[in-house]
Every structure is written in structure tokens, then in C-alpha cells.
Structure 1
Amino acid sequence: MSKGIIVLEEGWPFMEAGVTKLHRILEELPEPAFESVQYMNLYTTIYNMCVQKPPHDFSQQLYDKYRGVIDDYNKQTVLPAIRKKHGEYMLRELVKRWANHKVLVRWLSRFFDYLDRYFVPRRNLLTLNSVGLTSFRDLVYQEIQSNAKDAVLELIHKEREGEQIDRSLLKNVIDVYCENGMGEMVKYEEDFESFLLQDSASYYSRKASKWSQEDSCPDYMRKAEECLKLEKERVTNYLHSTTEPKLLGKVQNELLVVVAKQLIENEQSGCRALLRDDKMDDLSRMYKLYQPILQGLDPVADLFKQHVTAEGNALIKQAADAATNQDASAGGVQDHVLVRKEIELHDKYMVYVDECFQKHSLFHKALKEAFEVFCNKTVAGVSSAEILATYCDNILKTKGGSEKLSEEVTEITLEKVVKLLVYISDKDLFAEFYRKKQARRLLFDRSGNDEHERSILTKLKELLGGQFTSKMEGMVTDITLAKEQQTNFADYLSASLTTKLGIDLTVTVLTTGFWPSYKTSDLNLPIEMVNCVEAFKTFYGTITKHRRLSWIYSLGTCHISGKFDKKSLELVVSTYQAAVLLLFNNAERLSYTEMLEQLNLSHEDLVRLLHSLSCGKYKILIKEPMSRTISKTDTFEFNSKFTDKMRRIRVPLPPMDERKKVVEDVDKDRRYAIDAALVRIMKSRKVLGHQQLVSECVEHLSKMFKPDIKMIKKRIEDLISRDYLERDSENPNTFKYVA
């Protein structure tokens, strides 16, 4: 172009020649590429026509010409080329024309760059790039997008049915939808995505209807899992990433949510059947499929809870039937069998919770609630708390009781027992039964391992706090101290010149507050025993002046020598039994009344003792008249002809049913605990309604036991009568704390 003023009529034809050359290149017609000189001439021409002083500043006209060039190309070349093709071929043409359009805009924007840098900002106009994209959107995209959408959905349908398609083509078409949104996703979402989601929902609704009729639950889930996997891949390969949650949501809804009840509750192959047949892989798949769905796991967890509850109830029924079928004297409820099966059941389903259900809190809760149902049922009148305490006692006894467990297995089993205790509501009842049995183990030297005794207390302390185990720990400490004290007593006797007992005496000093309460009586001891008691009292007085000894003869054990005609036998008896037998050192025959007076015992106690010595397995005494019952007119004499193949025999006492006393003691403690909780709550709240007070009291005590609502109401009335609380004068259902 000549230097000087360039008029529009002269400059524009020169520019048109450059545009025509660009069109030919885009249409793949024979045309050499732009040389740098040509490019610079075109740019310079535009520059010169824009910087000329008015009226020769043609910036606005060139801006309009730029728009016109692109519009004309879209109308005359692009649209006709796309219109004459259909389906996949139309998509390829669309992709090609969109790519060409971007090239066209990029090159023209370079030629007209001066407008973009100065004219456009001053006039606040659309940039040249925006003008170019808007032209394609308004003239080409708006007309073509609906047909393109149908063609894309058709290809996706083919792919879902297993056909191979050109994924790169679809990705490029999706880019057309996204890029024509001019930086926003509205075009993609409204013109394509909404139809894709609707079409996908219809497709998978049909599939769900068909598969649910034909397939088992595991087969159906495998197909659903594969579909979700393929849809994720579909998004990765050619859809926009924002589509993934929406698309998967549609697929999940149609394949999983709509048929959830039918699928999960299928009697032949649903969740119950999978649990029954231990199909852990299928249960894991069910969890993975329903976990992303809001409340999707609720029915699965509910069926899991029902299944575990049913299995637990079956164990309880088996135990109850076994207890009914066997003789009461043969052992009653087989505690070790029931608890061991409960532990096995818990181990089994904890694996399900951990592995199949990925430790999800919903399934932990379901397992807990299931175990709480059957773990708190009584079996043949025996509470679960007592059964568990008896099982612990069986393990901790010398040589593991009937369990015969190794050291390592014992430790693991104790840990599992403590886990079961979590589900027992009457933990205070367990504590009392456990303490009773622990006391007997410790006092009669039946504890198999001190480390295990301490280990379970540590576990219980971690679970329920120091207050729960304080008395139990005190008992263990007492026994340790008693052993040291016995050594000191032996040294004391050895050093004494005057005190010679002639009997081996072992005394265990217990702290009253730690141990269960035991029955005491003013038994008239034989003179041999009196001397022993006095000797220990003298020794103990040298240690402390501040403690008073109270002797509990019911816990004593004696080894006495019985000289019978055939041979002498060592008899292991209780202190009471020994006192009865030693009477016969000074008399060949004694009446019931004489023994009652000499021993100073109650009728019930003496009957029990005489029954064990004359009517039980070992008949050390001969009763006249012979019968199985003891009456006040009976007489007894030493059975010198008694013999046994063993050198040492233990003469058992008829077992006492301590269950009633334990329950009564616990009920009494509960009344105190409820009183304390009510006062503590009211002291902090001052004024509280009845319902809220009861609710807070239940919550406060539920860690140890489940308080009875009627008992709480009684305790409230009792506290009112004792002036701890008072009713509000205007509202009788509101209570006030009396300071």
C-alpha cells in the first residue's frame, strides 16, 4: 500500500485479498502459507487506517468489517457444510469447522490487533476474539447444537450397548458445547448435559427393570458396579468433569435407589441371604454401592442388626434349652459355652464391620444395638451379668477352670469378655457378682495367675473408670499384703518362747470396705482354735493399735486329721465343719441340741453343717435315725469305720444361693446412686421439670445400669419427704432444690 492517506475503498480490498487467502487455506484449497511480509503488510494497513486523523480514521468501519467477514464465512461456508451431513459425519464436520473458526478468529485478530489494543478498550466494545466466538455461537451453534446433541447421545447409547465409538470425536464435540458458553457452563448444561442426564435415567431405568427380574442380587450388583465404573470412565474420556456427580447420581438412583427395597430385601439372594451364607465379597460390594447414597446404607445396617440379633437370640435359646434339659445340680446354665459362642459371634461380625463395611459408624451402632438386645436377656433365670462374671471366674481360676487356656489365649479372651461387657446394661450387677467370685478365688487361693487378675482390672478400669474397679483392686492389694503379714507372723511365732500353737495357722487380714459383706456369728470355737486367734491378736497388736479385727469364720478352711479304723485321712473342711467335728474328740455321741448349745450357731447354719457331714458324699458322722433331713431330735456319732481311697478329701458344704443377696445389695446401691444423681442434677440446675429431671437422671446413670423409671419417681418422692427437693407451688411437675 502507498504511504499517505488510505481511504476505505482502497484499503479494504487489499484486506479482503488477505481474508480470501485465509479462507482458502482453511478450506484446504491450493494456497501457499502466509509469509511474514504479507502478514506485516496486512497488519500495517489496518494500523494506518486506524491512526489517520478524522475523517480518515476508519476504526469503527474496520471493526464492523471484521464482524461482517466472520458472519459471512459462517453463513456462506460453515453452515452449508454442516447442514448437508448427518449423525457422526455431521459431528466430525462440526468439530472441524469449530477448529477452523478458532484459527480464523486467531489470524484475523492478529491482523486487526490494533483495534483490540486501543479502539475496543476506549469504546468499551467486545474484543475481537469475543466477536468471533459470538458469531459462531449465534449463527452456527444455535442451529446445530440440538442435532449434535442427538447424535452424541446416539453414540453414547451405542457405547453403553458395547459398540466401539470414537471417543476423541465426542470429547471434541463436548468442547464445542463448553467453549460456546463463553467462559460459563450454561450452554453445556442446558443444551447437552440436561438431556444426557434425562436420557441416562431412562436408559438405566429400563436396565434396572430388566435385570431386577432376571438376576440375583449379587449378579445385579456386579452389573451396577460395572455400569458406574463405565460412566466414570465416560466422564474421564469425553464428558466435562462437573458432570460426574450428576451422572453418577442418576445412575445410582435408577440402578440402586429405585430398586433398593426389592434388591436388598430379596429373600433368596438379598442382604439376609448374603449374611447367612457369609458372602463377604458381595456384602463389601453392597456397601461400596450404597455408601455414596444419602441414607443408602440405612436398610443394609438395619438388616445387619436384625440378622445379628436373630443369631444372638438363637444362642440364648440354645443355652436356655440346654439348661432346662440338664439336671440343675449338674451345673445349670453352661456359662462358658454361651459366653464363648457370644465371643465367637462378636469376633465374626466385627470382621464384617471392619472389612465389609469399612468400620462405618452405622454398622458399629447396628452391632452394638443387636448385642444389647440378646446380651441382656436372662437364661434360665440367670442374668447376663452373672453369666459373664461366672465365665471370667472360670477363666481366672487355677489352670483356667474348665477352659484350660494358654497364657496368651487367656489374655486375649479376657479382652474379648470386657468388650462384651460394653453391651451389658447392668454393669453394676456384673461388678458385684465378679467381686464375689474374685473374693473366693483370692481367699481360697484358686486364682490361676496374679497378672491376669490385674490385667482384667486394668481393662475394666479403662472401660468404666477407677470407681468401678477400686474395690476389686483393693482386694488384690489386701491379698498381697496378707502374704507379707503371714511371713511376719510366722517369724513372730518362731521368735516367741511362750507361744506354741501346735497348729499351722494362716490368717488373711481384709479391709472391710473392699470386700463383699460376709455373715459373721459368735461361734464358740474349740479351745485349740481359741489359742490361735488370741496369738494372732497379740501379734497384730504389735503392728497397729488403730484397727479392730472382726473374725469371719465362714471364710475359714481347716485341714484336720481324722483317725479312722482302717486309716487316717486328712479332711479339708470349713471352720464351722471343723468346729463340729472337734466336738467328737470329747464325746462319742452328741444330740442336735447339745451341739447347738456348745457351738452357739443358728438352727439354719447347724442343719447345713450336719447335712454335709452325715448326709452328703462323705458320711463322717452317723445320724440317727437315718434320713436325708436333719431334725432337732437327731443324734450323731463319729463314724470310725469311714474310709476312702484318697488320702485327702474335701468335704463340701451344700451350695448357698447368693444370687438373691447380690441382687438385693445391688438394688440398695442403686437407690443410693439414684438419690445422689438426682441431688447432683438439682443442685446444679436449681429448678427442673419432672420429665427433664428423669431424663437427665437416666442419662447420668446409664453408664453403669439402666435405672427403672418407677424407682426414680419413688426416689424423687423420698427426697421431697427428706426436704432435699420441693414441688413448685404453681406447677407440681416442677421441682426446686432446697439448699
Structure 2
Amino acid sequence: MIRDILMYMDRTYVTTTRKTHVHELGLNLWRDNIVHSSKIQTRLLNTLLDLVHKERTGEVIDRLLMRNVIKMFMDLGESVCQVDFEKPFLEASAEFYKVKSQEFIESCDCGEYLKKAEKPLNEEVERVAHYLDAKSEEKITSVVEREMITNHMQRLVHMENSGLVNMLLNDRYEDLARMYSLFRRVTNGLVTVRDVMTLHLREMGKQLVTDPEKSKDPVEFVQRLLGERDKYDKIIVTSFYNDKTFQNASNSSFEYFINLNTRSPEFISLFVDDKLRKGMKGVIEDDVEVIFDKVMMLFRYLQGKDVFEKYYKQHLAKRLLSGKTVSHDAERNLIVKLKTECGYQFTSNSKPILPCNLPAEVSVLCEKFRSYYLGTHTGRRLSWQTNMGTADIKAVFGKAQRHELNVSNFQMCVLMLFNNSDRLSYKEIEQATEIPSSDLKRCLQSMAFVKGKNVFKKVPMSKDIGEEDSFVVNEKFTGKFYKVKIGTVVAQKETEPEKQETRHRVEEDRKPQIEAAIVRIMKARRVLDHNNIIAEVTKQLQSRFLANPTEIKKRIESLIERDFLERNSTDRKLYRYLA
């Protein structure tokens, strides 16, 4: 009203003489004589803070009155509002939430605490919307975050029986999502969650892959890995909003612990072999693709992909040559996935030929076919995979019991020996056939110990086969059907000698790959020091295996001996490519 009465003066005199405008003079008078009055200032502030406190504790207050008073402070200027209300308000809020958080942390588990911490954050945002300055929202939420989350962050994630690890173990998706949402608001909040998850995942995975009991069954071993992978994928997608940093941490953890077990490549190949031999009951074709996609994820974690390749080629060859695959489409699809991941050369070679002396009758036929094949085709090689394939043998037991036996090639070789002998020792069978010991023992076990298939008797009777044991034809053998199929005892895992042999072959195959990488690098760089060669070779080959620096050094020495490289005369760590 005063401004309206003095409007002309305010527009002319005040403007031309650059005096303070009437409205601002009025506000200054109001500030100095009313708001900053010694009788009013403290009382007004305490009343406002008391009303806020009452609302925080559940009482209903006059929000319109609060809004008008806060607006008055804002009209008096930002500095007045900050000094006379906002600063004391934030200090009182910090004290209030400090007490509350301590009360909650002592009486609640982690999940309950997070719910109680989430509520005041929402309430403070609502409070700002109703009667506080919009600029104060960030400040008050920062206070709540500090007192309710930051100050108790470590205690919350490590809380016994309810912290982050407990939530992960028990699939508490809602609590995990709430923790993620709250912790992302504070500095290093998500880093804390991610670090604890990574540590737990690595410890859990380490126990899983190094436990001898859990490594007895390769199929179950890989199934557990896939189960854990599915579990954490769901947690990351559902509760952590598919955060890429959490996904990377999960991938890094799986890569860490899967490679702690040197047999992981073999087990993953055995898992695939089991699924493609036996099939997956009740699983439709699209789901088979999903399962193999998950297997490929585990495959990507392997540092020794070439080791997997060795086993996969063996198992693939056995499935195809023995006709024991449940789906050729599934085989092709998986090979396409592996070629996409590793390159076209993935299936270029087969398993090395195992020694075996074929019966004379069979050898004659093999030679006839060899002559025909090589005479028809040029530039090809023909080799016999004697450990693969099957044979049908007509046999007579006793006086007149006739059967047709469907057996493996190795079993055929053993059976044919008994056309000329009634009794043979294990040592004699081994010398005559030259079948590898582990394969021969499984072959004999399948024909002597399996009920209904026991065409042999072992002397002495026991389940273990020793070099001095003997075998005789079971003259009393009889079957329900004329045609009897005799399987072979399957070795789910390699024996220690077989394992060492496979590892040796892998190491031998790696040598030319390392040398080829060194030559490629040196051709391009011409001169390079030792450490950089190691780094670049490791990087080039990491998609197939993790190259050992010691082996790289040996390959460099070998290339120097063969005049591909030479050392610098003054610096022995510097190499030069010889064109």
C-alpha cells in the first residue's frame, strides 16, 4: 500500500537519484525491526524448527502457514533465508537423522534399515515441494544421505545375517534393488556394493571349483556354474538395473575362479558332450540354443580355449563316428558358435590316432579300401580312427547259443583274439592289440562286469583289472534277444596320464602359434624390446590362451637360433627382425 501511494516518486525521483526503491525499503524495515528483533528472531526460528520436527515425528502441522513464513524469508533475500532459517534447519536436520539412524542401526536388520532410510528421503522431497525453497532440496537430501547412508555404509553391507552377502545368497531382489538405489546416491556407494559382491562371488566360486567332491561329476560341476551365472545375471538385471559396471565385475569374477580349476575346459566339453549324447528331456529346440549360449559364456571366460578345443574335437569325433549325437542341427549350430568365437580353423583337425592292431580279417579290408580311395582321389590322406566306430560280430557260446554282438572297434579287436585262444591274460591282450591301457581296461570291464553283457569271465573275480588277471569266454552267456549291444564303460574324466598327455599336446600346439605371433609382430615393428614383445604376443593370443612369458622367451630364443631374429649388440633386450 505504501508503494502504491508513493508510486510516482518511486518511478521518477528514486530512479533518477538512484535511491533504494520503496518496496525494498519496506522489506529492510520489516527485516530489521521485526524478523531480526531480539524478541522475535529466536522464537520464530525455534517455532519453525519445532513444527518441522513435529511433522517428522508424525504430527500434522499447518503447511500453508509454514509456506507463507518461508516465502517471507525468501522475499527478504537469499542471504536472510540461508542465515535465519536454512542453515539452522540443515543443522537441526543433521542432528535429528543422526539420532534416528543410530536408533535404527541398533535395532533393525539391513533390509529394514534400508526401508527406514528410504522413507525420510521421500518425505524431505515432499516437504520441499509443499513449503520449503526448491533450492534447498539438494541440500536437505544430502544431509539425509550422509547421516542415514554414508555414515553407516560399511556396517550395512557387512551386517551379519542380513547384509549384502546374505541378500545375494537368499535372492532378496527387492532389498538389493533398494540398496542399489540408495547407495548410488552417495559417493563410493556403488563401489562399496560392487567390491563386496565381487569378493563374495570370487570366494564362492573358488570354493565351488576347488572342492574335490564337487569336481567328481563334470556335468554337475558345469551345471552349478551355469546356475550361479543365471543367478547373478538375474540379480544384476532385476536389482542393479543391468548396471554395466556390475556386469563387468561379475564377468571378471567368473573368469577368475573358473580358471582356478585346470580341468574346467575338459568339464565344459564333457557337459556339452553329455547334452548332445543324451539330449535334454522336455527341452524344446529354442531352449537348447539358450543353454548352448550360456555354455558359450563360460567358454569365453576360459584362458585356455585351446585346451577346450582339444577335448571338444575328441568328443565331437566320438559322437559323430559312433552315431551317438541326438541332433545334427544342434551339433552344427554349436560349431558355428565356436567358429564365430575362435575362427574358422577351430574344427580343422581331428583327434590324434590311438594305436590299435586290427584283426587280420579287418586289416585286409582296410588295405583294399585304402587302395580304392587313394586311387580315386589325389592329394588326400587316409587314416583310420580305430578308437571310433562299431562292429557286428556273430558269436557262438557253449554248444549252440548264438548271438550277434554289437560292439566298439576296440571290443571287436579283443573278441577276435579268442577265436584262437581259450584264455588270455590282460598283459597278452594288451600286447596283441596295443590298445592304450585306460581304454583297454574300460573295454574289458564292459564285457566282464556288466550284468547281461558279460561275455567274459575274469580270473580272479574282482572289479579291478590287474596285469596278471586272465579272461576266458563265458560259455554260459545268454541274452534275451539274438542281437546284443555291448556298450563301453564311459570315462567321464581323464586319468592322470591321459590328462598329462593332453596337456603336453596342447603345449606343443601352442609353440608354433607363439612363434607365428612373434614373427608377425617383428615383421611389422622391425625392432622391439623384450617387454613389448611379451605384451603384444600375450594380447594377440589371449582370444585362444594365456601365453606364458617363459614360453614366449623360449620361442624367441628358438627364432634367434633359426636366424629369424637377432639381438642388438649393445642392448641384449632389444631384438631385430632379419628379413
> Using the alignment, how far apart are the partners of 1:306 and 1:368 within structure 2?
13
User: Could you tell me which residue of structure 2 aligns to residue 407 of structure 1?
Assistant: 284
1:284 to 150, 171, 177: 177
Contact 2:309 2:346 in 1 (8 A): no
> Which of 529, 537, 540 is residue 697 of structure 1 equivalent to?
537
The equivalent of 1:435 in structure 2 is 313
Aligned counterparts of 1:353 and 1:563: Cα–Cα separation in 2:
64
The answer on 1:295 being equivalent to 2:173 is no
* 2:72 equivalent to 1:176: yes
Shift of 1:653: 8.3
Aligned to 2:138: 245
Q: Quick one: distance in 1 between partners of 2:571 and 2:295?
A: 48
The answer to whether the aligner puts 1:569 opposite 2:403 as a matched pair is yes
- Structure 1 residue runs of 5 or longer lacking an equivalent are 1-21, 23-103, 324-332, 473-512
Give the counterpart letter for 1:220 in structure 2.
Answer: Y
Task: State the shift of 1:176 in Å.
Answer: 3.4
- Contact persistence 2:354–2:435 (CA under 8 A): no
Q: Distance in 2 between matches of 1:234 and 1:284?
A: 25
Aligned residue identity for 2:401: K
**Contact 1:720 1:726 (C-alpha < 8 Å) held by counterparts:** yes
2:353 pairs, out of 495, 500, 518, with 518
SS in 2 for 1:229: helix
Any residues of structure 2 matched to 1:534-613 within 5 Å, and which?
A: 534-535=368-369, 537-538=371-372, 541-542=375-376, 544-564=377-397, 565-575=399-409, 578=412, 581-582=415-416, 587=420, 602=434, 608=440, 612=444
- CA displacement 1:208-250 (0-9 Å, x = unmatched): 2232223322222222111101111112112232222222112
The equivalent of 1:709 in structure 2 is 549
Q: What's 1:214 paired with?
A: 107
User: 2:227 corresponds to which residue?
Assistant: 344
Task: Say which of 321, 324, 344 aligns to 2:213.
Answer: 321
Distance, in Å, in 2 between the alignment partners of 1:358 and 1:718 is: 52
Instruction: Give 1 or 2 for the bigger CA radius of gyration.
Output: 1
Offset from partner CA, 1:5-57 (integer Å, 9 cap, x none): xxxxxxxxxxxxxxxxx5xxxxxxxxxxxxxxxxxxxxxxxxxxxxxxxxxxx
Aligned equivalents of 1:223, 1:679: Cα separation in 2: 64
Indicate the SS of the match to 2:349. Answer: coil
Q: Tell me, in whole angstroms, the C-alpha distance in 2 between the residues paired with 1:305 and 1:203.
A: 35
The structural deviation recorded for 1:292 is 1.8
Q: CA deviation at 1:578?
A: 3.8
Instruction: Map residues 96-495 of structure 1 onto 2, 5 A cutoff.
Output: 104-105=2-3, 108-109=6-7, 111-112=8-9, 115=12, 120=15, 126=18, 131-141=21-31, 147=41, 149=45, 151-181=47-77, 185=78, 188-189=81-82, 192-316=85-209, 320-321=212-213, 333-378=216-261, 383-397=263-277, 399-400=278-279, 404=281, 406-408=283-285, 409-462=287-340, 464-467=341-344, 470-472=345-347
Residue 643 of structure 1 corresponds to which residue in structure 2? Answer: 477
> What letter matches 2:101 in structure 1?
A
- Counterpart-to-counterpart distance in 2, 1:572 and 1:423: 41
The one-letter amino acid paired with 2:164 is: C
Number of residue equivalences: 559
Contact 1:619–1:642 (CA under 8 A) maintained in structure 2: no
Q: Distance in 2 between matches of 1:644 and 1:453?
A: 38
Q: Provide the rounded CA distance (Å) in 1 between the counterparts of 2:125 and 2:290.
A: 45
Contact persistence 1:576–1:609 (CA under 8 A):
no
Deviation (angstroms), 1:707: 2.7
- How far 1:266 sits from its partner (Å)? 1.6
Percent same amino acid at aligned positions?
A: 30
Pairwise CA distance, 1:604: 6.3
Counterpart residue number, 1:668 = 508
CA–CA distance in structure 2, aligned partners of residues 607 and 198 of structure 1: 80
- Alpha-carbon RMSD: 4.1
1:166 alignment partner AA: D
Note the residue ranges of structure 2 that are not aligned, 5 or more in a row. Answer: none
In the other structure, the counterpart of 1:328 is: none
Distance in 2 (alpha carbons) for counterparts of 1:357 and 1:243:
29
Any conservation in 2 of the 1:275–1:307 contact (CA below 8 Å)?
no
- Partners of 2:10 and 2:263 in 1: CA distance: 91
Q: What is the distance in 2 between the residues matched to 1:451 and 1:603? A: 33
Q: Could you tell me how far apart the structure 2 residues matched to 1:606 and 1:687 are?
A: 50
Does the CA-based 8 Å contact 1:563-1:640 persist in structure 2? Answer: no
Give the AA of the match of 2:346. Answer: K
Question: Cα deviation per residue 1:518-541 (whole Å; 9 max; x = unaligned)?
Answer: 2367x5753565246525743674
Distance 2:455 2:311 in 1: 33
Deviation at 1:107, TM superposition (A): 6.2
Could you tell me which amino acid in structure 2 is paired with residue 612 of structure 1? L
User: Which whole-Å CA distance do the structure 1 matches of 2:445 and 2:143 have between them?
Assistant: 82
2:90·2:143 contact (CA, 8 Å) conserved in 1? Answer: yes
Per-residue displacement from partner, 1:149-193 (whole Å, max 9, x unpaired)? 554334323322323223233333333344444xxx555445543
Q: Aligned partners of 2:68, 2:227: CA distance in 1, in Å?
A: 58
Q: How many Å apart are 1:447 and its aligned residue?
A: 0.5
Q: CA deviation at 1:271?
A: 2.0
Per mean C-alpha deviation after superposition, the further-off stretch among 532-541 and 418-427 is 532-541
Shift of 1:392: 0.8
d(CA) in 2 for partners of 1:428 and 1:624? 43
Q: Secondary structure at the match of 1:555?
A: coil
Normalising by structure 1, we get a TM-score of 0.66
TM-score, with normalisation over the residues of structure 2?
Answer: 0.82
Q: Matched residues in 1 for 2:371 and 2:107: separation?
A: 87
Cα displacement (A) at 1:296: 0.3
Give distance in 1, aligned partners of 2:413 and 2:568. Answer: 62
